[in-house]
């Protein structure tokens, strides 16, 4: 099993279970199936609306003796309406209650975007707060407080581009230990990954299968279908594995964490087996050549008329 080691020597299993879009009626069984299959890393978020069901599944898994809390790596994320310094710890406490645990292994700022308190999704610019008014440095102070209180062992960010990550490193007391970003063969983010590796920041790739179940309003007509890619399918055929296992093994072999979502027990099991697939140097080179800087989640939902969040600087 691939692992990533944190600064205090805590070890994160590199492949975890994604839970966005895992519906309330199915996520309970999916988490139990994953834990039975050997997953020890779960990727959660308040905004996914299913942390209560995940908490119930975890409690059931402890009761059945499948795992103990200390065997697990649990990540969750701070939503955009709780960026004010005093809102971070209460938001985290809500997540801890829902997940039925006393601490997280990793807590991440979900987006470099702030909303007014209580606004979960925005349709008007007035519902957003510009970062000039509520800067990431203030939110980060709340994140550091969460570590000091023992509510999370590690903190980090999601959806940060290179410059934004460097800016945070420059102002933080506890340096970020993770950047979770969209990452797959069509969006490899090599420069960002190199910076992370050089600065002791881990990198998790989300939507590693191309997020085929993302909602319709996040789709574009010309979106390529990652798992139908010819090169990936040819490599899969050669190794007698699935295209999903190839993209996951590629992510593991380049030293990143990866969090495929599934609620299907067979795919849950098969995805974890990407840990056993060894891609050759030629395979890795062929996949490297597929990069086309193509985002499935381009953040355009934050670019509201009259608002301060703009395409040209969201990913900077």
Ligand X SMILES: NC(=O)C1=CN([C@@H]2O[C@H](COP(=O)(O)OP(=O)(O)OC[C@H]3O[C@@H](n4cnc5c(N)ncnc54)[C@H](OP(=O)(O)O)[C@@H]3O)[C@@H](O)[C@H]2O)C=CC1
Ligand Y SMILES: O=C1CO[C@H](CO)[C@@H](O)[C@@H]1O
Active site residues: 48
Answer for which of 185, 260, 277, 302 binds ligand X (CB under 6 A) is 260
Least distance (Å) from ligand X to the CB of residue 270?
5
State the residue number with the nearest CB to ligand X.
18
Which of these ranges, 6-14, 19-27, 65-73, 122-130, lies near ligand X under the rule CB under 6 A?
19-27
- SS3 for 199? coil
Answer for which of 12, 15, 19, 20 binds ligand Y (CB under 6 A) is 20
Which of these ranges, 3-11, 16-24, 52-60, 66-74, lies near ligand X under the rule CB under 6 A?
16-24
Indicate the residue among 31 and 246 with the shorter CB distance to ligand Y. 31
Binding-site partner at residue 19 among ligand Y, ligand X, none, CB < 5 to 8 Å by type: ligand X
User: Does residue 267 bind ligand X (CB under 6 A)?
Assistant: yes
Q: Cite the DSSP H helix spans in 65-161.
A: 85-99, 136-148
Strands 3-5 and 11-13: antiparallel
Q: Could you count the other beta carbons within 10 Å of the beta carbon of residue 278?
A: 8
Answer for which of 38, 135, 161, 212 binds ligand X (CB under 6 A) is 212
| Cβ–Cβ < 8 Å for 47, 30 | no
Q: What is the rounded distance in angstroms from the CA atom of residue 260 to the CA atom of residue 17?
A: 6
User: Does residue 313 bind ligand X (CB under 6 A)?
Assistant: no
| Cβ–Cβ < 8 Å for 54, 19 | yes
Least distance (Å) from ligand X to the CB of residue 70?
22
124 torsion bin: left (phi>0), alpha (psi -120 to 50), beta (else): beta
- The DSSP H or E segment spanning 39 is none
Answer for which of 211, 249, 302, 314 binds ligand X (CB under 6 A) is 211
Decide: residue 171, CB within 10 A, 0-12 exposed, 13-18 middle, 19+ buried.
exposed
- For the chain, the residue count is 316
Which of these ranges, 83-91, 120-128, 143-151, 210-218, lies near ligand X under the rule CB under 6 A?
210-218
First CA to last CA distance, the chain: 33
- The site string for ligand Y over 73-112 (x = CB under 6 A, - otherwise) reads ----------------------------------------
- The site string for ligand Y over 228-267 (x = CB under 6 A, - otherwise) reads ----------------------------------------
Q: What is the rounded distance in angstroms from the CA atom of residue 236 to the CA atom of residue 250?
A: 12
State the residue number with the nearest CB to ligand Y.
20
Answer for which of 76, 80, 159, 188 binds ligand X (CB under 6 A) is 159
Within 76-115, which residues bind ligand X (CB under 6 A)? 110
Q: What is the rounded distance in angstroms from the CA atom of residue 82 to the CA atom of residue 91?
A: 7
Q: Dihedral angle at the C-alpha atoms of 27, 28, 30, 36, nearest 10 degrees?
A: 160
Q: What is the rounded distance in angstroms from the CA atom of residue 309 to the CA atom of residue 150?
A: 33
Least distance (Å) from ligand X to the CB of residue 245?
7
Within 51-80, which residues bind ligand X (CB under 6 A)? none
Decide: residue 310, CB within 10 A, 0-12 exposed, 13-18 middle, 19+ buried.
exposed
**CA geometry: angle at 274 spanning 273 and 276, to 5°?**
70
- The site string for ligand Y over 36-65 (x = CB under 6 A, - otherwise) reads ---------x--------------------
Site residues for ligand X per CB under 6 A: 18-21, 43, 110, 158-159, 180, 206-214, 227, 242, 244, 259-264, 267, 270-271, 297
């Amino acid at each position: 099993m691939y692992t990533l080691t944190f600064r205090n020597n805590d070890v994160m299993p590199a492949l975890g279970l994604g839970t966005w879009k895992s519906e309330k009626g199915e996520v309970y069984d999916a988490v139990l199936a994953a834990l039975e299959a050997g997953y020890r890393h779960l990727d959660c978020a308040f905004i996914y609306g299913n942390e209560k069901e995940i908490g119930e599944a975890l409690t059931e898994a402890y009761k059945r003796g499948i795992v103990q809390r200390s065997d697990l790596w649990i990540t969750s994320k701070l939503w955009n309406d709780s960026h004010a310094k005093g809102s971070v710890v209460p938001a985290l406490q809500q997540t801890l209650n829902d997940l039925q645990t006393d601490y997280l292994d990793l807590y991440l700022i979900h987006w470099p975007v702030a909303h007014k308190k209580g606004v979960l999704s925005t349709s008007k610019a007035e519902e957003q707060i510009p970062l000039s008014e509520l800067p990431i440095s203030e939110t980060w102070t709340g994140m550091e407080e969460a570590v000091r209180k023992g509510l999370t062992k590690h903190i980090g960010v999601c959806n940060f581009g290179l410059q934004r990550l460097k800016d945070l490193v420059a102002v933080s007391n506890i340096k970020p230990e993770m950047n979770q970003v969209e990452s797959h063969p069509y969006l490899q983010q090599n420069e960002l990954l190199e910076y992370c590796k050089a600065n002791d920041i881990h990198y998790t790739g989300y939507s590693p299968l191309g997020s085929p179940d993302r909602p319709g309003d996040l789709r574009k007509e010309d979106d390529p279908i990652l798992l139908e890619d010819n090169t990936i399918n040819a490599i899969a055929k050669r190794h007698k594995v699935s295209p999903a296992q190839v993209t996951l093994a590629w992510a593991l072999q380049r030293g990143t964490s990866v969090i495929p979502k599934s609620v299907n027990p067979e795919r849950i099991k098969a995805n974890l087996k990407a840990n056993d697939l060894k891609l050759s140097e030629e395979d890795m080179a062929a996949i490297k050549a597929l990069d086309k800087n193509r985002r499935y989640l381009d953040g355009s939902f934050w670019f509201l008329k009259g608002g301060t969040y703009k395409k040209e600087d969201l990913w900077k």
